[in-house]
């Protein structure tokens, strides 16, 4: 029996594409497609096909020379002009014009612009010398004066003026304020550094407001002196160390600690500074009274009051339907 094999069918779109390619001679070559590389071209290192040599551009299935202006060099020509200006030249009206470098300037690493030498500043198309006053030094910055005052000096009207540091003080790096701070144990007053008078039972504290000292633990400040804290019975030093508070179950009354009286059906609160009623009791003066629940009511969240059940509302102490 003779076997007949069917050839694969080509779609209309595929046939149309083949007809278009056949109608454009050299279309494949012009795009670097398969085929022998023309003159001034070379095979691609990947993907097959060819591409024009540097200094040439694809045209009509071949490679034509790119016209280079004076002081230019060829670059890959898959897009753009196909050339760039040499170092020291810049593009002007499709030509390469020499960059005019003013005195005291140099070409930057890009080779397409210039920068001023150290000690000079770009003003217009020139490099102007930076005038550094006495007791100053150059700084690398495109803004400001271009110089900074030496340590111990401060800028004033274009000059560097010495900072007057009083006795018992030291210089600080700051562009604001006096430019100095007092040594430890001294405080600023009228532009001077005066010794801090630390009383007995105290210590120096730079963070302390006004005085510059704090009382030792167990002492409290009274009239610029440190007096021992008198602890009453059932009292103890506060964590600050300069005050006292009552122990749990006691409360302050003047300069003493008195016991907290807890009524029946009551208990000491979590802080230990007062009392609360048990659940089902309400505070009434100094006692705990039993809560009388009206019909259709229940104890509230605190347990020391009541509220009406759902669909009821409080009206003059009774729970009635909405």
pLDDT tens, residue order, the chain (322 aa) = 444 444 444 444 544 444 534 443 333 334 445 568 888 888 887 777 888 888 888 888 888 888 889 999 988 776 778 888 999 999 999 899 999 999 999 999 988 899 999 999 999 999 999 999 999 999 887 777 889 999 999 999 999 999 999 999 999 988 788 899 999 999 998 999 999 999 999 999 987 667 889 999 999 999 999 999 999 999 999 999 999 999 999 999 999 999 999 999 999 999 999 999 999 999 999 999 999 999 999 999 999 999 999 999 999 999 999 8
Six-digit token string for 151: 């340590």
- Residue pair 249/272 in contact by the 8 Å Cβ criterion: yes
Q: Where do runs of H (alpha helix) occur along the chain?
A: 12-23, 27-30
Rg (CA), the chain: 47
Strand partners of residue 56? 65
- Residue pair 95/82 in contact by the 8 Å Cβ criterion: no
- Residue pair 265/288 in contact by the 8 Å Cβ criterion: yes
Res 269: pLDDT: 95
Q: CA-to-CA distance for 87 and 66, rounded, in angstroms?
A: 20
Residue 28 contacts by C-beta under 8 Å, 6 or more apart in sequence?
21, 34, 35
- Residue pair 88/107 in contact by the 8 Å Cβ criterion: yes
Res 80: pLDDT: 75
Q: CA-to-CA distance for 248 and 157, rounded, in angstroms?
A: 67
DSSP string spanning 129-160?
Answer: EP-PPTTEEE---SSSSSEEEPTTEEEETTEE
- Residue pair 133/159 in contact by the 8 Å Cβ criterion: yes
72: Cα within 13 Å, side-chain hemisphere? 20
pTM for this predicted structure: 0.53
Residue 173 contacts by C-beta under 8 Å, 6 or more apart in sequence?
151
Res 35: pLDDT: 64
Nearest to 117 by CA among 99, 103, 98: 103
Strand partners of residue 15? none
Res 290: pLDDT: 98
- Which helix (H) or strand (E) segment holds residue 180: the answer is strand 180-182
Six-digit token string for 13: 């779109």
Strand partners of residue 50? 43
Strand partners of residue 246? 235
Six-digit token string for 18: 């083949």
The dihedral region occupied by 142, where left means phi > 0, alpha psi between -120 and 50, and beta the remainder, is alpha
Res 134: pLDDT: 96
Provide the residue ranges of all domains of the chain, joining segments of one domain with +.
Answer: 165-195
Res 28: pLDDT: 37
Residue with tokens 């009051």: 305
Note the pLDDT tens digit of each residue in 12-56.
454 444 453 444 333 333 444 556 888 888 888 777 788 888 888
Q: CA-to-CA distance for 229 and 215, rounded, in angstroms?
A: 11
């Amino acid at each position: 029996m003779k076997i007949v094999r069917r050839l694969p069918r080509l779609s209309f779109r595929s046939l149309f594409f083949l007809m278009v390619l056949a109608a454009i001679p050299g279309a494949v070559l012009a795009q670097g497609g398969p085929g022998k590389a023309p003159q001034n071209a070379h095979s691609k290192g990947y993907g097959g096909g060819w591409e024009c040599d540097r200094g040439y551009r694809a045209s009509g299935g071949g490679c034509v020379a790119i016209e280079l202006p004076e002081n230019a060099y060829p670059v890959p020509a898959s897009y753009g002009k196909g050339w760039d200006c040499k170092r020291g030249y810049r593009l002007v009206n499709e030509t390469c014009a020499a960059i005019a470098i003013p005195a005291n300037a140099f070409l930057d690493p890009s080779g397409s612009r210039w920068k001023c030498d150290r000690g000079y500043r770009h003003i217009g198309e020139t490099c102007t010398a930076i005038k550094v006053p006495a007791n100053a030094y150059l700084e690398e910055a495109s803004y400001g004066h271009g110089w900074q005052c030496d340590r111990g000096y401060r800028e004033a009207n274009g000059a560097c003026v010495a900072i007057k540091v009083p006795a018992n003080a030291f210089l600080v790096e700051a562009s604001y304020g006096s430019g100095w701070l007092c040594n430890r144990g001294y405080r600023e007053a009228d532009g001077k550094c005066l010794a801090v008078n630390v009383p007995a039972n105290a210590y120096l504290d730079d963070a302390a407001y006004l005085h510059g000292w704090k009382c030792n633990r167990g002492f409290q400040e009274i009239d610029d002196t440190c007096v021992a804290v008198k602890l009453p019975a059932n009292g103890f030093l506060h964590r600050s160390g300069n005050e006292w508070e009552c122990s749990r179950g006691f409360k302050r009354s003047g300069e003493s600690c008195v016991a907290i009286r807890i009524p029946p059906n009551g208990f000491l609160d979590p802080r230990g500074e007062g009392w609360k009623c048990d659940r089902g009791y309400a505070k009434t003066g100094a006692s705990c009274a039993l809560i009388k629940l009206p019909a259709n009511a229940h104890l509230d969240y605190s347990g020391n009051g009541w509220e009406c059940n759902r669909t009821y509302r409080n009206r003059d102490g009774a729970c009635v339907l909405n």
